[in-house]
């Protein structure tokens, strides 16, 4: 390929639309262009990267026994209604783009394919003899993300590899899941990524167990907690830990404490010499459902701890009747939200667990009772400080009992850095940021039962399929690789996924000797199936060197004045190490090098 044919437009300055370095570099180096919010064109350079990642994924999927197919992107509503995900994915914070066809039938653009594949396999597989079976596809997915950002990291249209496995037993599912786990580790290693596997929450996909693969990077949106001995790693949504021991509060009787303008835990602690673990804080949230009016929730937590929203979602789901329909979202109740609802007398900043349901009486369409939860660590405090539900006042020496009726105790505490580990309290948890590039799930029977997808077992009975599903964000992975592999000058692609393995830079295109040698090397390398790019532009040498560094191809062959003596310069992009070589020797040396590296990447 010739740079002159590549439509390469590089930018000298950081584009205003980009915040994280990988997004800036992909824009500046001419890999992507934004079409609209969260939607990008993959330019020729990036398309080559995506194809390389995809081909590595295909090889590993084949080794894991999976077969490729392509399912439709437009999906009918009825199967999503059977799995009870239509409302959750289309209303409230739902992320599924949906539409009606000319006959008024509802359709959606696939954010994921559990429903379609379960239905399909139910039609195709009748007997246990046809199991196990694993299908995968590499396809564009659509998600109307609440906060699309960081370029390809969280976009609204992106390329995903999704695989689905079907089994006649849980043990068999476990075997495929473990095989996929291995395949995923191979993929990330071969793509040159440093990835940590973490226990994860199964979210709206569901199922018994799941594991995420996180590229560790500052720009990551996920928080991961890793034990010091590295034997435990989990997404913060899922992580467990031992709670810190609370500071003891003495019994001084329950009294008012004057706390003007002390609406935060920090302010309260500073003004009264308290520790945050001596305080019970109250959070007000609102849960919206598909079939009933919103339910206000009152959560009491120890002041030094944070709410784990995933745990709250499970708690709410298990404490409401099935008549309320699908849980659409849980959001904090803000002072403005309360006033708009006609609820004017909530003393925000001074809330205590005993806040009376009467404050909800004026609500236009909220339910008039709080669903109340307390985290066990807050429930375990004998005496505590909490809001008095009166502006500018807290209570000190409060205790659970008549005044503070203890609500349902539910574990809602988020594990955090420096907490002691459950597997061994001598270790503590450390916090890292991660970019989720893959997620594998043991789904169990969730979709097969919902969609009535069965096979006939050895004794002639109908059984629901055991299922697993496995996703990799191909486009997100490409950007995550840039996040891990770049320097001041630009991108430094790992060889295995670089758009080209080598770029030939002809310093002076007017110089016939340089041009002839460059073209000769280009032809030889192409014939030897090296992914080679030649910069044949008329531009100044400085521009070409800057661009070569920016686009990040692992090897640069610079053809300058030495061409007259058949001398070239070989530069390694990542180290900037350069070597003068004879052109003939270079070809031999380089081909041997690439062969060796490919073998290393293939893990032979
Ligand atoms: P996230 O928590 O980041 O929103 P998710 O858990 O919803 O992701 P999955 O349903 O597990 O995502 O999808 C499988 C993979 O697809 C993810 O591991 C990720 O790599 C990729 N992916 C998901 N959402 C996006 C997106 N908006 N843009 C790019 N890639 C995405
Ligand atoms: Mg996920």
Nearest ligand to the C-alpha atom of residue 96: 1
Name beta bridge partners: 209: 442
| Residue where a domain terminates, one of 375, 409, 443 | 409
Q: Find the CATH number of the domain harbouring 190.
A: 3.30.930.10
The reply to whether 218 falls in a domain is yes
- For the Cβ of 219 lying below 6 angstroms from any atom of ligand 1, the answer is no
Residue 549 belongs to what domain range? 500-602
Do residues 140 and 161 make contact, with C-beta atoms less than 8 angstroms apart? no
Query: Per the domain annotation, does 462 fall within a domain?
Result: yes
Q: How many domains does the chain have?
A: 3
The predicted pLDDT at position 594 comes to 73
Segment (H or E) for 551: helix 541-551
CA distance 231 to 225: 11
Per residue in 563-593, pLDDT (tens digit) is 999 999 999 999 999 999 998 888 888 777 7
**Residue 491 is assigned to a structural domain of this protein:** no
Number of the ligand closest to the Cα of 474: 1
Helices (H), 341-440: 376-379
Distance CA 115, CA 71 (A): 11
Best residue among 471, 475, 477, 481 to mutate for probing ligand 1, ranked by most atoms within 8 Å of CB? 471
Same structural domain for residues 259 and 383?
yes
**Is 207 touching ligand 1 by the criterion CB < 6 Å?**
no
Cα distance between residue 282 and residue 286, in whole Å: 13
Calculate how far, in angstroms, residue 149's C-alpha sits from the geometric centre of ligand 1: 13
Distance of CA 298 to the CA centre of its chain: 29
Residue-level pLDDT at 603: 40
Q: Same domain for 38 and 168? A: yes
Ligand 1 proximity of 143 Cβ (cutoff 6 Å): yes
| Closest-lying ligand 1 atom to the alpha carbon of residue 437 | 20
Could you tell me the distance, in angstroms and rounded to a whole number, from the CA of residue 423 to the centre of ligand 2?
25
- State residue 405's pLDDT score: 85
Ligand 1 site-directed mutation target among 160, 309, 483, most atoms within 8 Å of CB: 160
Judge if 512 and 446 occupy the same domain: no
Q: Do the beta carbons of residue 33 and residue 41 sit within 8 Å? A: yes
Output the CA torsion 164→170→174→180 (10° steps). -10
Taking the CA of residue 441 as reference, the ligand 1 atom at the shortest distance is: 11
439 Cβ contact partners less than 8 Å away, ≥ 6 residues apart:
200, 205, 210, 211, 212, 213, 470, 471
Tell me the CA–centroid distance for residue 275 and ligand 1, in Å.
Answer: 39
**Domain check: are 278 and 315 in the same one?**
yes
Positions of the chain with pLDDT lower than 70, given as ranges: 204-207, 402, 596-604
Q: Which residues pair with 166 in a beta bridge?
A: 133, 467
Same structural domain for residues 198 and 322?
A: no
Cα 323 to middle of ligand 2, angstroms = 28
pLDDT value for 206? 67
3-class DSSP state of 39: strand
CA-only gyration radius of the chain, Å = 29
* 386 plus 451 within the same structural domain: no
The pLDDT, as a whole number, for residue 601 is 45
Ligand 1 atom nearest to 160, measured from its CA = 16
The residue among 158, 138, 130 whose CA lies nearest residue 32 is: 158
Q: Output the six-digit token pair for 106.
A: 């509802």
Does the beta carbon of 160 sit less than 6 angstroms from any atom of ligand 1?
yes
CATH number for the domain spanning 402: value is: 3.90.960.10
Longest dimension (CA), the chain: 95
Cα–Cα–Cα angle for 272, 274, 275, rounded to 5 degrees: 155
Asked if residue 171 and residue 22 are part of one domain, the reply reads yes
- Give yes or no: residues 142 and 176 share one domain: yes
Q: Where are the beta strands (DSSP E) in 143-266?
A: 157-167, 195-199, 209-216, 222-227, 233-235, 255-258
Do 296 and 341 sit in the same domain of this protein?
yes
Domain annotation covers residue 583: yes
* Residue 39 sits in the same domain as residue 156: yes
Please check whether residues 337 and 435 belong to one and the same domain: no
**Of the ligands numbered here, which is closest to the C-alpha atom of 89?**
1
Q: Atom 26 (ligand 1): residue with closest C-alpha? A: 154
pLDDT digits (tens, 9 = 90+) for 452-497: 999 999 999 999 999 999 999 999 999 999 999 999 999 999 999 9
Closest CA to ligand 1's atom 16: 473
**213/314 same-domain check:** no
With a 6 Å cutoff on the Cβ, whether 436 touches ligand 1 is yes
Average pLDDT, the chain: 93
Inside any domain, residue 425: no
């Amino acid at each position: 390929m010739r740079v002159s044919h590549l439509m390469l437009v590089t930018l000298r300055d950081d584009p205003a639309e980009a915040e994280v370095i990988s997004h800036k570099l992909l824009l500046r180096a001419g890999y992507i262009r934004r079409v609209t919010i969260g939607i990008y064109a993959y330019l020729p350079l990036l398309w080559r990267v995506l194809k390389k990642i995809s081909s590595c994924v295909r090889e590993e999927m084949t080794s894991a026994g999976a077969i490729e197919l392509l399912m439709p992107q437009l999906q009918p509503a009825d199967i999503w209604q059977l799995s009870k995900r239509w409302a959750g994915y289309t209303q409230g914070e739902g992320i599924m783009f949906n539409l009606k066809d000319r006959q008024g039938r509802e359709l959606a653009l696939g954010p994921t394919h559990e429903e379609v594949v379960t239905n399909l396999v139910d039609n195709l597989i009748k007997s246990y003899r046809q199991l196990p079976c694993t299908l995968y596809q590499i396809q564009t997915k659509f998600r109307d993300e609440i906060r699309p950002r960081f370029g390809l990291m969280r976009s609204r249209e992106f390329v995903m590899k999704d695989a689905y496995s079907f089994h006649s037993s849980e043990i068999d599912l476990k075997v495929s899941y473990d095989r996929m786990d291995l395949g995923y580790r191979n993929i990330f290693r071969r793509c040159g990524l440093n990835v940590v596997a973490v226990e994860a929450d199964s979210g709206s996909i569901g199922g018994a167990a799941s594991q995420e693969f996180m590229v560790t990077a500052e720009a990551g949106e996920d928080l991961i907690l890793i034990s010091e001995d590295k034997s435990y790693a989990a997404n913060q949504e899922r992580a467990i830990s031992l709670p810190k021991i609370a500071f003891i509060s003495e019994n001084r009787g329950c009294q008012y404490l004057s706390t003007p303008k002390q609406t935060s835990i920090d302010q309260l602690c500073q003004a009264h010499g308290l520790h945050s673990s001596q305080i019970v804080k109250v959070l007000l949230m609102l849960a919206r459902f598909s079939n009933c009016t919103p339910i206000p929730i009152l959560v009491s937590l120890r002041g030094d701890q944070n709410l784990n929203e995933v745990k709250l979602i499970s708690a709410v789901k298990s404490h409401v009747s099935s008549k309320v329909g699908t849980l659409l979202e849980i959001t904090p109740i803000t002072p403005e939200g309360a006033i708009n609802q006609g609820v004017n007398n909530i003393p925000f900043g001074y809330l205590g667990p005993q806040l009376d349901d009467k404050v909800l009486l004026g609500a236009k369409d909220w339910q008039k009772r709080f669903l109340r939860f307390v985290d066990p660590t807050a429930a375990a405090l004998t005496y505590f400080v909490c809001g008095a539900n009166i502006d500018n006042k807290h209570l000190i020496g409060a205790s659970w009992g008549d005044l503070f009726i203890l609500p349902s105790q539910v574990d809602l505490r988020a594990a955090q850095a420096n907490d002691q580990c459950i597997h061994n309290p001598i270790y503590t948890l450390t916090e890292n940021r991660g970019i989720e590039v893959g997620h594998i799930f043991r789904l169990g029977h969730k979709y097969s039962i919902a969609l009535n997808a069965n096979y006939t077992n050895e004794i002639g009975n109908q059984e629901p399929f055991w299922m697993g599903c496995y996703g990799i964000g191909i486009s997100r992975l490409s950007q995550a690789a840039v996040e891990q592999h770049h320097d001041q000058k630009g991108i430094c692609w790992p060889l295995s996924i670089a758009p080209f393995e080598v770029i030939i830079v002809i310093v002076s295109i007017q110089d016939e000797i340089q041009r002839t040698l460059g073209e000769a090397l280009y032809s030889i390398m192409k014939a030897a199936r090296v992914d080679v790019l030649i910069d044949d532009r008329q531009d100044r040498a400085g521009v070409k060197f800057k661009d070569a560094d920016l686009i990040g191809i692992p090897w640069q062959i610079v053809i300058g004045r030495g061409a007259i003596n058949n001398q070239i310069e070989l530069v390694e992009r990542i180290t900037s190490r350069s070597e003068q070589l004879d052109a003939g020797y270079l070809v031999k040396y380089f081909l041997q090098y690439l062969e060796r590296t490919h073998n290393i990447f293939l893990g032979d």
